[in-house]
Amino acid sequence: MASKMSVAIISVISFFVGGLIGTAVGGYYGVELTTADFGNRWLSEQANDIDSRISNLINMRENRQDENLEAMERQLEDDLISIEPDHRIKPPTLDAINAVIQKAKEYRAAYPRTSSRPAIERMVEAVFNQAPYK
């Protein structure tokens, strides 16, 4: 009887310890992989932004205003369609997002254009129509 009780206690303790170890390891790697994914995406976006700014600066220095304006319009479209807040976004960030979307709407009303990318243009309109976010 004592040996069956010992085996049961050891089994319960092993199960509990295994669960704790599994949770700790899974949690660590889950956070690590998620952080790495967001970090990689953010750094990739930063590299693209730097590349775009360099192109814009070259266009400005070489007086290629039309090319510069088109590049900046495309960047604006790309940035607008990347804004989609979720439930974790805090009110100050939501306020900033809503303000910049409103500013972009006003800009587009003052300077309308037809995009060379119709699908992107529809996505931008969807962003304008969904705002303000709450």
Half-sphere exposure of 51 (CA within 13 A, CB side): 7
Whole-angstrom Cα distance, residue 58 to residue 55?
Answer: 5
Chain segment 52-111, per-residue pLDDT in tens? 888 888 888 899 888 888 888 988 998 898 887 777 888 888 898 899 999 999 999 999
The tens digit of pLDDT for each residue in 26-62 reads 777 666 666 666 667 777 777 888 888 888 888 888 9
Residue 69 structure tokens: 């304006």
Q: What is the DSSP letter of 88?
A: T
Q: Are 52 and 79 in contact (CB under 8 A)?
A: no
Containing 82, the helix (H) or strand (E) segment is helix 65-82
Q: pTM of the prediction?
A: 0.63
User: And the tokens for 3?
Assistant: 């040996």
Question: With contact defined as beta carbons under 8 Å apart, do 46 and 54 qualify?
Answer: no
Residue 106 DSSP SS3? helix
* Contact of 127 with 80, CB cutoff 8 Å: yes
